[in-house]
Structure 1
Amino acid sequence: MTRIGSPFDLSHLEDEWLEADGFGGFASGTAGMLRTRRYHALLLSATRAPGGRMVLVNGVEVWLEAHGQRFPLSMQRYGPDVIYPDLRGSLDSFDTVLWPTWRVRVDARTVAITEAFVSKATGATVLRWRLEGNGLGDLGVPVLKVRPLLSGRDYHALHHENPAFNFSAQISGDQSCVSWQPYGGLPVVGAATNGVYTHAPDWYRNFCYVREQERGLDYREDLATPGVFSFDIASGEAVMILSASSASSASGKSDTATSILIANDKTTAATHAAYLAQTEQQRRNALGSRLQRSADAYIVTRNEGRTMLAGFPWFTDWGRDTFIAMRGLLIASNRLDDAEAILLEWAGTLSEGMLPNRFPDYGDAPEYNSVDASLWFVVALHEYLATQHASAATRAHLQQAAEAILTGYTNGTRFNIAACADDGLLRCGVPGVQLTWMDAKVGDWVVTPRIGKPVEVQALWINALRIASAWNPQWQQPAERATLSFRQRFVDPATQALFDNVDVDHVPGTVDRAIRPNQVFAIGGLPFPLLEGAAARAVLGQVEAQLLTPLGLRSLAPSDPAYRGHYGGSPLERDGAYHQGTVWLWLIGPFVEAWLRVNGASAPNLAQARARFLAPLYAHLDCAGLDHLSEIADGDAPHTPAGTPFQAWSLGELLRVENLLARFERGGA
């Protein structure tokens, strides 16, 4: 896990941490305590798991009082860009070794330690504070003060001062357990503590979220604070357990705050927090490696089954991302029960041979605007079934789902998706709809429409046909025919690499020569390569020469006039660059597999692959989204990370390639 300091390296001030609850909710923030996004919060709950996410407790204002002096232990950023209190000189260190932990120097002899973690057992956020040293003893008995900062809003929105906010509190007899309901219909927020609550309503105004400002979005917010908790921290650890009642009841988890309110015992919160910490530490240790502990964040509940979030903080569950990511996050990590549950959950959403591209956050009808999500499902199914984990009934059910996909695609389905009679390749696309993974769209502008026969779609189609032919021979001939057509139609005579698209806009014979990473799937990233020998070397050579960066593959070659080397600015600017040169970290997986297939998996090549291609990703675990991998990075050096800092398929592909390398090192195929 990540360690920063001591002394604290200020270049890591805005690196981000994540604590997920397994139901779509999470806590997150920065190593430097400053909230930089609207999504940073201590209690963010999914009211309709994994959707309906609401920000309930955004943060806390924390300080020590001793003999009339005030020593701040938290800092905030206010507009236009004012940090107050400013603890940057007092922040000794931050680490995520167990969970987010800060050390703040109060004076020469005293350090205050703050811990924050989410308990998967309860869905609650646990905050703990303690002192090391005795410098404050000269100033009298120190008292810790904590003001919760509340909103009660959709996690995509912002909150502003208004008369409708309900400050009223339900308080236990000894004032240590309190609950609030900021707005009617929202979850009840509970705070169970070993302190004493004093009701003192107020507004903290004009918080500034710089990441939102950079993205061209609204970035200022007002938060309500209903009161102050006081703790006798000189006598021991101070504890606050935050929970949301509706999220707890909906998930079947115990309502921590309510149970402690009923107990009405000041020792209960501290005892329960210690139990939750012990239980959570044991759970995390049992997960295995650092990567596997991070992978656990993306696995969440949907209905009675399981699904996978594409990333944090803003993604929901996307089909394409799920089936790509699960190969590393679950199958390569031997989490086969979860893999089976997710495959079965998604198989139940089949419609006209298609699986959804994503589930909207608010429970609306799933969106089926993807040509490749269904094909990635077949690939993930293949890798899962190869483990021999599935029962005969499950195997038959999943194979039936794959057959429905291939039949639907063969006969034709939505968005002009169909196998062509003349060459057996898969066509797709209608104007105004983005169907491939290069799916940026702004209003009516589809940035990379790729209507026709995109190269990676053919690789997926042929792989799916070959996979199904193992149990149903009827798919063998279509697979052979499509493979022959692919080799005849996709090789660019000028470079011997591959076209990105043929029959562009469904015009026979037209080609797209844009140099993109999609061609790598013909030689890596899928179970069955379509090219070997000189043809494979030509593809790898072009990709390595023009697209490879330390963090992944560019989505377009810098030599292309449409290339955009920086991802940033307004939504229009960002979406215009998303697949026009921006680096995608997940693509390093198929590239490394292709590189080993072409160059051979000798011991020197395996060592070179680790040093050249994987080492930069491991270094990236210690910046941006700590212990995770970012979604994207700038195409231009220094390849600054961007997009979401916690991306499932980026981490999944690193795990998958690690598993692949380990098999080769053991002498396996």
Structure 2
Amino acid sequence: MIDFGREICNCLEIAQEREWLITNGIGGYGLGTVSGVLTRSYHGLLIASLNPPLDRTLLLTKVDDTVHYNGEVYSLFTNRWINDLVEPAGYQLIENFKLEGTIPIWNFSLGNGRLEKRIWMQHKANTTYIYYTFKQGSQPLTLSLKALVNYRSHHRGNLPNLTTNQIDRGVKISLSNQSSDSFYLLTDQGKFSPIYEIYGGFELVKESYRGLPDRDSHLCVGTFEATLNPGDSLTFVATTGHPNPLVSHQLNLHDHSTLGKLLDGISALQERRQYEQSLLDQWHSSGSPRTQSVPSWINHLVLAADQFIVDRPLDNHQIGKSVIAGYPWFNDWGRDTMISLPGLTLATGRPEIASLILRTFANYISQGMLPNCLPDGNHPLTDHDYNTVDATLWYFEAIRLYYEHTGDKILIRDLFPKLEEIIDWHCRGTRYNIKLDPQDGLIFAGAQGVQLTWMDAKAGDYVVTPRIGKPVEINALWYNALRIVSELAQVLDKSYDLYDNLSQSTLKGFNRFWNEERGYCFDVIDSPELGNDPSLRPNQLLAVSLGETPLSIAQQKRIVEVCGELLLTSHGLRSLSPKDRQYRGDYGGDQYKRDTGYHQGTVWGWLMGPYVLAYQRVFNDPIPAREFLEPMAYHLRTAGLGTISEIFDGNIPYYPRGAVAQAWSVAEVLRVWLELNQ
């Protein structure tokens, strides 16, 4: 279990770095710090997905909770104002904090009284619960909850004009003159006193560090107040009023039965607990290691894996599945989804989700390519959304692992024509000059101003990592894809000679990547700008870790050794060798500084998966392979609680950066841990 005492909770500099995350399975989320202070524009208690899984909108920012007890006033909340003024300092009243599954729980000390607070989201609904329990005390207390709201993009934006209307058990908040764009704040007891006051001047230190606007304003709409006796609880609900916006109509909050059910905090909490327990039960029943041999941090990752899986509506009015690449700012992306799919679904005992994801993305294949970005609302996909050369090739690997896990020939039969189509388009050429070079059997890809590989950072018009040409991991993926489609053709009793011949050509051509002088692979060959790029990057590890490798045993061993010597860290692999003059070991600063350092030494957590698998393939020694993963257990307690960050500094102490929860980081660590322990 992840839990902290006063040594963490009462130190603001530490407690504000530890962030909890709650999600609802349709793209909505809540995010905040252990201290309660806002440090990001993305922090909020209800960030609703108004057009699932996107259009994420900050609705309820925070609740400033105050307790009157035994003649004293206790402000449980913490705010940071302009010029780093922290007032009040409610974090000093936190006795302890813990995660129960994904549910954050605080216990506040009130003299001889104790008040517990927990927060969670209802599954498949834009609804957040805040549940207070007066655990211990000698007399009643009065709990006052001041609600601060907004109605802006979760990224950032100005506070819009809002209208409030008092209703039974709370208040309705709407965009002015647009009553359909509304949400509700409700409690199961007490009284509501309306206020309409803008609170400006919130200072957001994380945004300041990232060189982004670091001031925010929110609207106080009123105060909820109730008296609790020892043992009593209070339920506070923030909701858009839709049980599930993808399939349900608006709730009738004028109906007392409907309202009563919504405000039944005990039942809602039990429902959330049962859902999370079902995820663990499904994992344990799917052939995972015995329960007693599973460390608690792995159980946390099983629950974290579910936080990225979301519903996505399809054009045929069916509900598909996709993967949010990371919280708080990423959408669902093709590349990240395919890399993450095995760890998020197969490793957690949920192959039916994997099947849905694979079928969902098949709907978007165009000119032999998977999109990098999926449709946002009613906007159709354009060529710009297909700016990825690797997402399509990762699709083959995801299908291979799915079939290996399930033996499901029906899905293979249904998707095989799509795989044939992809190979055909790559052979004759598709968008962005992605095409097979018949001279060496390798894939060339690239167009000026467009980044197609996962190392895709641009700073304005400046391409930071120019990889036009034949990137090493793209051709490892291409060879792997050809071997996969050949094997699947045989499973379906189809002709496979074409794919065997293509793969033999690629196998022969792949020798061009080997840099004999340095003892590892060129990162890109035939680059119009660089020729053959000798930069030491981790991309070549995929030529070792994928199901099919085009390298000799000696080459595999040398790659693992050199990457281990210069790229491996406690939390992933550096994106560039520290011996390179372009190396950047600290990630931060404004947009330009961050983008120019994104792949120039920054550590990526997801790469721990390919490295550990490559190590195991070469040395066949699972004990040290498992030990590479152990530092991640400590990381689960230092940034995004119970999950894994997107990136880390390349220099010691490898400080976590970027998104606090990243799908492929969680997925690859979980998948590889399970593979090494089965």
TM-score, with normalisation over the residues of structure 2?
Answer: 0.91
Contact 2:125 2:244 in 1 (8 A): no
Correspondence for 1:86 among 85, 89, 92: 89
CA deviation after TM superposition for structure 1 residue 475, in Å: 0.4
CA deviation after TM superposition for structure 1 residue 152, in Å: 0.6
Correspondence for 1:580 among 579, 600, 603: 600
Q: State the distance in 1 between where 2:478 and 2:570 align.
A: 30
Correspondence for 1:386 among 396, 404, 407: 404
Correspondence for 2:537 among 511, 516, 529: 516
Deviation string, structure 1 residues 589-614 (Cα, Å, up to 9, x no partner)? 000011111111xxxx3222222x11
Q: Secondary structure at the match of 1:434?
A: coil
Q: State the distance in 1 between where 2:83 and 2:219 align.
A: 20
Q: Which amino acid aligns with 2:170?
A: C
Task: Name 1:666's counterpart in structure 2.
Answer: none
Contact 1:347 1:401 in 2 (8 A): yes
Q: Percent identity?
A: 34
Q: Secondary structure at the match of 1:213?
A: helix
Deviation string, structure 1 residues 96-150 (Cα, Å, up to 9, x no partner)? 124100111121x112211101110544111011223225x3xxx4211101101
CA deviation after TM superposition for structure 1 residue 69, in Å: 4.0
Q: Secondary structure at the match of 1:179?
A: strand
CA deviation after TM superposition for structure 1 residue 381, in Å: 1.0
Q: State the distance in 1 between where 2:262 and 2:612 align.
A: 49
CA deviation after TM superposition for structure 1 residue 33, in Å: 0.8
Residue 165, structure 1, aligned to residue 162, structure 2: yes
CA deviation after TM superposition for structure 1 residue 5, in Å: 1.2
Contact 2:126 2:244 in 1 (8 A): no
Contact 2:588 2:594 in 1 (8 A): yes
Q: State the distance in 2 between where 1:352 and 1:268 align.
A: 49
Contact 1:73 1:112 in 2 (8 A): no
Correspondence for 1:617 among 608, 632, 635: 632
Q: Which amino acid aligns with 1:242?
A: A
Deviation string, structure 1 residues 546-575 (Cα, Å, up to 9, x no partner)? 111111110000111111111100000000
Q: Relative to structure 1, is the Cα distance of residues 570 and 230 closer, same or farther in structure 2, using a 3 angstrom cutoff?
A: same
Q: Secondary structure at the match of 1:180?
A: strand
Q: State the distance in 1 between where 2:342 and 2:258 align.
A: 47
Question: Aligned runs of 1:130-149 on 2, under 5 Å?
Answer: 130-135=133-138, 137=139, 141-149=140-148
Q: State the distance in 1 between where 2:259 and 2:542 align.
A: 60
Q: Which amino acid aligns with 2:390?
A: D
Contact 1:28 1:42 in 2 (8 A): yes
Q: Which amino acid aligns with 1:190?
A: Y
Q: State the distance in 2 between where 1:178 and 1:229 align.
A: 10
Question: Aligned runs of 1:171-210 on 2, under 5 Å?
Answer: 171-172=167-168, 176-185=169-178, 187-194=181-188, 195-210=190-205
Contact 1:316 1:361 in 2 (8 A): no
Q: Secondary structure at the match of 1:614?
A: coil
Q: State the distance in 1 between where 2:259 and 2:359 align.
A: 46
Q: Which moved more, 1:51-60 or 1:360-369?
A: 360-369
Contact 2:26 2:125 in 1 (8 A): no
Which protein has the bigger strand share? 2
Contact 1:523 1:532 in 2 (8 A): no
CA deviation after TM superposition for structure 1 residue 191, in Å: 2.1
Task: Name 1:225's counterpart in structure 2.
Answer: 220
CA deviation after TM superposition for structure 1 residue 234, in Å: 1.9
Task: Name 1:262's counterpart in structure 2.
Answer: 255
Segments of 4+ moved more than 6 angstroms: 264-267
Q: State the distance in 2 between where 1:339 and 1:389 align.
A: 13
Residue 291, structure 1, aligned to residue 301, structure 2: yes
Q: Secondary structure at the match of 1:85?
A: strand
Q: State the distance in 1 between where 2:24 and 2:529 align.
A: 46
Q: Relative to structure 1, is the Cα distance of residues 436 and 266 closer, same or farther in structure 2, using a 3 angstrom cutoff?
A: closer
TM-score, with normalisation over the residues of structure 1?
Answer: 0.92
Contact 1:432 1:446 in 2 (8 A): yes
Task: Name 2:455's counterpart in structure 1.
Answer: 438
Residue 485, structure 1, aligned to residue 505, structure 2: no
Structure 1: gaps of 5 or more residues = 664-669
Task: Name 1:22's counterpart in structure 2.
Answer: 25
Contact 1:356 1:369 in 2 (8 A): yes
Contact 2:162 2:173 in 1 (8 A): no
Task: Name 2:346's counterpart in structure 1.
Answer: 331
Residue 368, structure 1, aligned to residue 386, structure 2: yes
Quote the RMSD (CA, aligned, Å). Answer: 1.9
Contact 1:123 1:253 in 2 (8 A): no
CA deviation after TM superposition for structure 1 residue 319, in Å: 0.5
CA deviation after TM superposition for structure 1 residue 511, in Å: 0.7
Task: Name 1:101's counterpart in structure 2.
Answer: 105
Correspondence for 2:581 among 561, 575, 587: 561
CA deviation after TM superposition for structure 1 residue 398, in Å: 1.4
Contact 1:369 1:435 in 2 (8 A): yes
Residue 112, structure 1, aligned to residue 115, structure 2: yes
Contact 1:299 1:306 in 2 (8 A): yes
Q: State the distance in 1 between where 2:662 and 2:417 align.
A: 31
Task: Name 1:608's counterpart in structure 2.
Answer: 624
Q: Secondary structure at the match of 1:536?
A: helix
CA deviation after TM superposition for structure 1 residue 183, in Å: 3.7
